[in-house]
Amino acid sequence: MKTYTYTEKKDTRSGFGAGLAELGKTNKNVVALCADLIGSLKMDKFIEENPERFFQVGIAEANMMGLAAGLTIGGKIPFTGTFANFSTGRVYDQIRQSIAYSGKNVKICASHAGLTLGEDGATHQILEDMGLMKMLPGMTVINTCDYNQTKAATIAIAGHEGPVYLRFGRPAVPVFTPADQKFEIGKAVKLTEGKDVTIVATGHLVWEALEASKVLFERGISAEVINIHTIKPLDEKAILESVSKTGCIVTAEEHNIIGGLGESVARVLSLHKPTPQEFVGTNDTFGESGTPAQLMEKYGLNSVSIVSKAETVVKRK
Amino acid sequence: MPSTQHLNDLTIQVRRDILRMVHKVNSGHPGGSLGCTEFLVALYNVIMTRKEGFNMDGIGEDLFFLSNGHISPAFYSVLARAGYFPVEELNTFRLIDSRLQGHPTTHEGLPGVRIASGSLGQGMSVALGAAQAKKLNNDHHIIYSLHGDGELQEGQNWEAIMYASAKNVDNIIATIDLNGQQIDGSTDTVLPMGSIKEKFEAFGWIVFEIEEGNNLVAILNGMSEAKSKTGQGKPVCVLLKTVMGHGVDFMMHTHAWHGKAPNDEQLAIGLSQNPETLGDY
């Protein structure tokens, strides 16, 4: 079984900052906007090197989304930066009308998504953002798993024409994907080969899925772990190919199971290949204050939960 | 510059288009459309520097953003008669498979439209973004925008209005259609907003008032004066005092025709008050 290791932990938001800084050098049309969270979004380097291409909008996210839509008219590629909650729920209608329906080339970059935002609590821990964004026609939705992948995704979305929601997080997590990876929107990455169960994970849950696969291997269950960084468009082929072999699947995400990755996968399976599925995600609940690790444990979003769901789903075959 | 006679003829013809469009589908918003007819005719035929054809990026020309998208009948008629698409297409307003949706959109690729609007309060931000893109592109053209007065009740406007002066966006002229009416009644009965002029000034804008917002000459003079104040470090606002339903006597001075179409008899009266000039579509 292929195993993954890491030598350091870094936050995915720093991957965004690094990717944005590189775009500052390579793509003169890229501009950035931020609603008073430069430090949190790690946008300092881009701003330092491209002050004329950065717009501090203050605590006014609705205005930020409209400005971004307007900046595309004239050929700019705007990247907006704020927390996931303020990037989506707070400004849903602005994104819907001025960006998605208008077909504007805006990149909505959202940090501090999910429970791992931690101590600030439920007001800031959005668990519904991927659902909100994937429902918008034409919106591409991406949730990256580590520093390197977030950096690669940030660079890749600048080359994609159309609105994109890029979701990443706050805590330092293992860096285990290659620094030189080519990020292909909509293309799942198979991390381990397995024959007994497919684990499709996104964001911070990808590392947890790899950890779970080690435990499952020791227990005689061979897990195929797929990193599905793009929630929409979903790599249906990769999912269907894998379950054709394994016959069951666990989906894992730092998001409400209502409206998340798991439901997108379930739709694909019910249409093409009905397959037993278990869901790792929050279950129709808000979060609360706590450390990221405590919260992920309490709400069942860690490797322990993935192992448990995998053992359950294998028995349902 | 087109003759005053031609502009007058165009204004009357646009009024006819508006009435016939909303009558045909028994829906749409004639009141605000009629009130802004002179403004939009003046904007597209005299005030704005426009290039032939339509390019979304609009480099090297003035751009217009309609925030109060429900006055789409006036917008569509003026766009068609300015050559962006065939006037016959006005026949398809609000019909299935049409590019002329109830509210303007880029989704069907209608030339002349650069942003969807209808959900109110979003156009100011978009216009400011486009204005900042012009500055980045070293393009010294002006962004024009139009907003309803009732629309200013949407909070996003004030985020944008605050931003505009903070960032010295001085290549925008935002016009407010000050007709004093909204769906549920007069703005003063629905939600009194106090002095809009003082509010804009307090937010650091240069404000002009056009008292006769349905008078072409007054509009041209006022907008020319407003344009002379662009490029001086401050955003420019024009308060355009219009009469909702202007040009059709029974539709004037009331909110009743905000979103209601005339019946056959009312259409005939309205058209008789605006005799055909340049040819119906």
- For residue B27, the domain's CATH number is 3.40.50.970
Quote the percentage of chain B above a pLDDT of 90: 98
Domain ranges for chain A, please list them.
10-174, 189-315
Interface-testing mutation among A31, A67, A93, A106, with chain B (most B C-beta atoms within 10 A)? A67
Instruction: Decide if A313 contacts A266 (C-beta within 8 A).
Output: no
Q: Enumerate residues 119 to 178 of chain B having a beta carbon within 8 A of any beta carbon in chain A.
A: 119, 122-134, 136-137, 139, 155-156, 159-160, 162-163, 166-167
pLDDT surpassing 90 at residue A39: yes
- At a CB cut-off of 8 Å and minimum separation 6, what does A294 contact? none
User: Measured between alpha carbons, how far is A92 from B182 in angstroms, rounded to an integer?
Assistant: 25
Check residue B89 and report its DSSP letter. Answer: G
pLDDT of residue B1: 83
Q: Residue A278 has what pLDDT?
A: 98
Residue B279 included in any domain:
no
Report yes or no on B91 lying in a domain.
Answer: yes
Q: Is residue B110 part of a domain?
A: yes
Whether pTM exceeds 0.80: yes
- Is B236 part of any domain? yes
Contact yes or no for A226/A198 (Cβ under 8 A): yes
Assign A246 a pLDDT band (cuts: 50, 70, 90). very high
Q: What is the 3-state secondary structure (H, E, C) of B199-220?
A: HHHHCCCEEEEECCCCCHHHHH
Residue B224: which residues within 8 A CB-CB, separation 6 or more?
B47
Number of domains chain B is built from = 1
Residue B278 lies in a domain: no
Which residues are A56's β-sheet partners?
A: A34
B124 and A72: CB-CB below 8 Å? no
**Partner-chain contact B133 A101, CB within 8 Å:** no
**Contact present, A29 and A53 (Cβ < 8 Å):** no
Residue A233 DSSP label: S
Residue A161: what pLDDT?
98
Tell me which residue has tokens 């204004």.
Answer: B11
For A144, other C-beta atoms within 10 Å of its C-beta total 29
Contact across the interface for A74 and B130, Cβ inside 8 Å: yes
* Domain annotation covers residue B280: no
pLDDT in tens, A159-214: 999 999 999 999 999 999 999 999 999 999 999 999 999 999 999 999 999 999 99
Q: CA-CA distance, A12 to A10, in Å (whole number)? A: 6
CA atoms within 13 A on the CB side of B23: 16
- Give CATH for domain A10-174: 3.40.50.970
What's the pLDDT score for residue A1?
Answer: 83
Closest CA to B15 of B235, B273, B208: B273
Does residue B50 fall inside a structural domain? yes
Which range of residues forms the domain containing residue B255?
A: 4-272
The span from the CA of B40 to the CA of B68, in Å, is 13
Is B114 within 8 Å of A73 when comparing Cβ atoms? Answer: yes
CATH fold for the domain made of A189-315: Rossmann fold (3.40.50)
Domains A10-174 and A189-315 share a fold: yes
B37 alpha carbon, distance to own chain's centre: 8
Cβ pair B32, B178 in contact under 8 A: no
Q: Any idea what DSSP says for residue A51? A: G
* A121: alpha, beta or left? (left if phi > 0; alpha if psi -120 to 50): left
In whole angstroms, what is the distance from residue B202 CA to residue A97 CA?
Answer: 29
Q: How many CB atoms lie within 10 A of CB B88?
A: 9
DSSP A181: P
In sequence order, what E strands does A122-276 have? Answer: 140-143, 164-167, 172-174, 189-190, 197-201, 223-227, 230-232, 249-256
Q: Tens of pLDDT along B245-256?
A: 999 999 998 899
Per the prediction, chain A carries an average pLDDT of 98
Please tell me whether residue A110 adopts helix, strand or coil conformation: strand
Would you state the pLDDT for residue A178?
A: 97
Tell me the pLDDT tens digit for each residue of B205-244. 999 999 999 999 999 999 999 999 999 999 999 999 999 9
Q: Is the ipTM of this complex over 0.90?
A: yes
The answer to whether residue B174 is domain-embedded is yes
A44 touches chain B (CB under 8 A): no
The position carrying tokens 């662009």 is B230
